[in-house]
Amino acid sequence: MCAGMGRAGAAPRGPRGPWPCLLLALALALDVERVDCDQDPLNTIYLPATLELLDAPEHFRVQQVGHYPPANSSLGSRSETFLLLQPWPRVQPLLRASYPPFATQQVVPPRVTEPHQRPVPWDVRAVSVEAAVTPAEPHARVLFHLKGQDWPPGPGSLPCAWLHATHPAGTAHQACHFQPSLGACVVELEFPSHWFSQGSTTRAELAYTLEPAAEGPGGCGPSQEEDPREQALPVGSVELRPADPPQYQEVPLDEAVTLRVPDVPVRPGQLFSATLLLRHNFTASILTLRIKVKKGLHVTAARPVQPSLWTAKLDRFKGSKHHTTLIICHRAGNTGLDSSPPELSEFLWVDFLVENGTSGGVAVTRPVTWQLEYAGQAPEAEKDKMVWEILVSERDVRALVPLAKAEELVNTAPLTGEPRHVPIRLVTVDNGGALVEVTEHIGCESTNTQVLQVSETCDAVFVSGKESRGAQGVQVDFWWRRLRASLQMTVWAPLLPLRIELTDTTLEQVRGWRVPGPTEGMPEPEAAAEEAERRPRSCRLQYQRAGVRFLVPFAAHPLDGGRRLTHLLGPDWLLDVTHLVAPHARVQDPRVASLEGGRILVGREPGVTSIEVRSPLSDSILGEQALAVTDDKVSVLELQVQPVMGISLALSRGTAHPGEVTATCWAQSAFPAPKQEVALSLWLSFSDHTLVPAELYNQHDLGLSVSAEEPGAILPAKDQGAQLGVVVSGAGAEGLPLHVALHPPEPCRRGRHRVPLASGTAWLGLPPAPTPPPALPSSPARGPPATEASVGGKQWEAGGVGGSGVVKGKFERAEAEAREEEEEEEEEEMVPAPQRVTDLELGMYALLGIFCLAILIFLVNGVVFVLRYQRKEPPDGATDPASPQPHNWVWLGTDQEELSRQLDRQSPGLPQGEGGCPCESGGGGEALTVAQAPGGGTSSSSSTLARKEAGGRRKRVEFVTFAPAPLAELSQESVGAPAVQSILVAGEEDIRWVCEDMGLKDPEELRSYMERIRGSS
């Protein structure tokens, strides 16, 4: 639509051109005003109480975009949402709410995974070791691991994990008690034999519950759950197979022979076999096999699968370190005819024996070297050797499991420059449920180093700040001996740039508020002066202050390289990282503004600058926000005060994340008891529609006073951290009003500065019901002026106060005296400044200026248009405004007969008038003949100019003008007799060539021709 309007506005010319542009500017201005009006600055008010989490190792404050503070916040309440990323199995975290001198705290409730489940104070990871079980090994093993921070030692502090298996044939239950050393345990649940008697593969669902440990052996008593399936957390499923599938590995020795070996660890004293397989096209009659093993492993026998076809001879050779076995196989007969022989067929079994006590309880590998020789073998394969390693362990190790303290990681390293680590421990699960930690001969690798890295010792995964993205389900692989395991992690990365939120981006001077401090650029007085003159010079202007918060969303990228992101908590949630990036935040021009504690922006002098956060790793800018400090003045309109007699706190769990906790605190403001201590929460409302808590300003810059109408009703509170606090003796049935006033600090009070900047009222208890005001008389009598501040009676100077009401009548005399004193002071301390123009007024003034400019352009175009057409002089006949405009006829050519014919054709039969021809030689320099009309008036003229130079005939230009006579004269003349005026202006030479050119030599012929022309016109 804007493009169309632009084209339409460019097409017209002249004064109407700017109007489409004006309409577009009007629409844009109205749209800006509409957006500004939709933003209500009064929604940013809340109780400035402090909410903090205790005993929580890692947490963040979070907020929804455009919802800070939340909608349920008010002058007497505040809500904050926290995100706890690491569980807390050791100590339940506490959330503390405080507004000095009052404070309260509560234990954070445990998380609830499902709405119908009972909350548990432990965060447990369950890992199923077996994916399938058989009748030979009918045990399902599940490892339970406590995530999060460390836990106190002692078996009584850790819970029991109950594993529940549900099968169409029934249910089974088994428990284990967490080990304090690892914070883990393994449940080994044996399935009944009739679960395998169905003859087909079935599945059993696994779930678990956590219960407190019981006294006695094992630490776990009978399950206390009546129906554990309602409260159980899912683990997964396990497959029940009627037969045990063999576990082996096939390795080709060459193109014709393949070795099949068991793919499970062997135990000392165990006998196992390796199988050789031949292809159906193997034609050699003799095959020689050399096997070399280390001490502790023996080849006991070589047995042909079909003794009628093959025979085997075994010879042993012992060495100092190795034993060599030579097996020679001979083909005894031919194979029978088979229309479809198998690709591979077994032909030899080789038996091995592991000596006892060779591993010493630690898993070791025993290498076995294989080498083949037979006729027709490929030359390059004759010297090839294959090494197969056998894992020997005294323990029946079933699985390798990595244990991590957390399965998700928030990558704050790009913001702080400090790496983030998650510790990893590797354990093995033995038959029987035993857990053993592995620390040596470990290998590890991250599948995506752009998201997550793993340490060289495989004891931690980490992010260093150089990672480019986050991801869900990024995998880290671990291996030990022949066992492998993987760990999946979720890494949340910040989506830069940072969002820097300021409560006010334009800081202005506060009218009448000066604070102690030297003024910029003012020379120090050389000589001592009076106290009244020295004190104002040591005060400087007070500018507004603003709160600063640094926010950023965290997200995980898809592993397949797509663009769809998964946000932490949701796409409209932001994490507050102010505590992380505040040390790296600075104001670009510190002369204009400065940051106090990284959270409060203080204006210094007029100018434009920005807040920026630089990366501690690359010095690049992570976020930037522009701001301005102006010399415009604003006033403190009112003080809004909330009395606080105590703090209440309520906690609730969220549903967007298991660690989401929302805390809501509110001020208690009931009827005060005798000697009740009351803190007053103060908000300052400025004329630029901004609200800020008094906590943003330095306590020494606030001159605050509180008073009550009843003498002795309040006393100042001692030794408290609030801005202002009092001790009240009690309130009546209608409540007790406290009048609060804001002044400049005492060293800077002079003249107008002695008048309160703003005031307000806080009610302790219930305020009186409002009554309608009485009707005012129409007489011009005036009462004393009402005031907005109350300074009288018992006045107590304190750290800070504010109010939201208006106090009138009682203390008007004190303020009148202050106003008289104000008029006697010098005006230079407080030069009256115009009220700040609002955004609406600025928009209206801009529109008014645009309209005035358009009118001016229109007028200029009209004047130019008029002047352009007034440059040509009108004919003589146009002097009379009542006469019509003449018609001028112009003919260009050389044929004077053509002109005569046209004139005869236009005016046939008209009477000829009198005239003369100046074609006489020897005439003067100019000859003029004028024929007067009968009425004495001058008629319009007909002029003819022709020229001929020596050497040829030139073209001539003839002008003929016709104009009717005035109406008054026409009534006296004959009808159709025009008035003709002929003017010939020429010299002697010109008259001669004109006459010759027309072919008229005789003056009489020329005179007849001119009379004929006058008669035709």
pLDDT digits (tens, 9 = 90+) for 790-802: 333 334 433 333 3
User: If pLDDT is split at 50, 70 and 90, which confidence band does 585 have?
Assistant: very high
User: What is the model's pTM?
Assistant: 0.66
Q: What average pLDDT does the segment 671-700 reach?
A: 88
User: If pLDDT is split at 50, 70 and 90, which confidence band does 735 have?
Assistant: confident
Q: What Cα–Cα distance (Å) separates residue 533 from each residue in 529, 747, 825? A: 6, 11, 11
Look at 216-220, 286-290, 315-319, 644-648 and tell me which has the smallest mean pLDDT. Answer: 216-220
Is pLDDT at 375 greater than 90 in this prediction?
no
Report residue 77: phi and psi, to 5°: -150, 165
**pLDDT of the residue at 975:** 44
User: If pLDDT is split at 50, 70 and 90, which confidence band does 929 have?
Assistant: very low
User: In whole angstroms, what is the distance from residue 960 CA to residue 899 CA?
Assistant: 10
**pLDDT of the residue at 556:** 94
Tens digits of per-residue pLDDT, 319-334? 878 889 999 999 887 6
Answer yes or no: are the C-beta atoms of 48 and 724 closer than 8 Å: no
For the ranges 416-420, 675-679, 991-995, 1008-1012, the one whose mean pLDDT is highest = 416-420
Look at 289-293, 726-730, 911-915 and tell me which has the smallest mean pLDDT. Answer: 911-915
> Which one, of 874, 899, 876, 880, lies nearest residue 889 by Cα?
899
Q: What average pLDDT does the segment 162-172 reach?
A: 91
User: If pLDDT is split at 50, 70 and 90, which confidence band does 919 have?
Assistant: very low
Tens digits of per-residue pLDDT, 36-84? 433 444 447 899 999 999 887 788 999 988 888 887 788 899 999 999 8
Cα angle 778, 782, 784 (rounded to 5 degrees) comes to 145
- Strand partners for 968: none
Q: What average pLDDT does the segment 947-966 reach?
A: 46
Is pLDDT at 1005 greater than 90 in this prediction?
no
**pLDDT of the residue at 208:** 92
Q: In this predicted model, which residue has the larger pLDDT, 257 or 882?
A: 257
**pLDDT of the residue at 691:** 92
Q: What average pLDDT does the segment 688-714 reach?
A: 86
Tens digits of per-residue pLDDT, 196-215? 887 788 999 999 988 887 76
Is pLDDT at 920 greater than 70 in this prediction?
no
Q: What average pLDDT does the segment 683-696 reach?
A: 92
Look at 346-350, 855-859, 922-926, 991-995 and tell me which has the smallest mean pLDDT. Answer: 922-926
Report residue 811: phi and psi, to 5°: -115, 30
**pLDDT of the residue at 1012:** 74
Is pLDDT at 812 greater than 50 in this prediction?
no
What is the chain's Cα-based Rg? 53
Look at 248-252, 560-564, 974-978 and tell me which has the smallest mean pLDDT. Answer: 974-978
**pLDDT of the residue at 233:** 87
Q: What average pLDDT does the segment 936-965 reach?
A: 43
Look at 93-97, 139-143, 513-517 and tell me which has the smallest mean pLDDT. Answer: 513-517
**pLDDT of the residue at 551:** 95
DSSP state of 379: G
Answer yes or no: are the C-beta atoms of 551 and 575 closer than 8 Å: yes
> Which one, of 70, 99, 95, 97, lies nearest residue 83 by Cα?
95
Is pLDDT at 552 greater than 70 in this prediction?
yes
Answer yes or no: are the C-beta atoms of 48 and 693 closer than 8 Å: yes
Is pLDDT at 678 greater than 80 in this prediction?
yes
**pLDDT of the residue at 149:** 59
User: In whole angstroms, what is the distance from residue 652 CA to residue 661 CA?
Assistant: 6
Look at 224-228, 243-247, 413-417, 713-717 and tell me which has the smallest mean pLDDT. Answer: 224-228
**pLDDT of the residue at 788:** 34
Sequence-separated (6 or more) residues with CB below 8 Å from residue 604:
520, 543, 590, 591, 592, 593, 594, 629
Give the dihedral of Cα atoms 180, 181, 186, 187; nearest 10 deg. Answer: -20
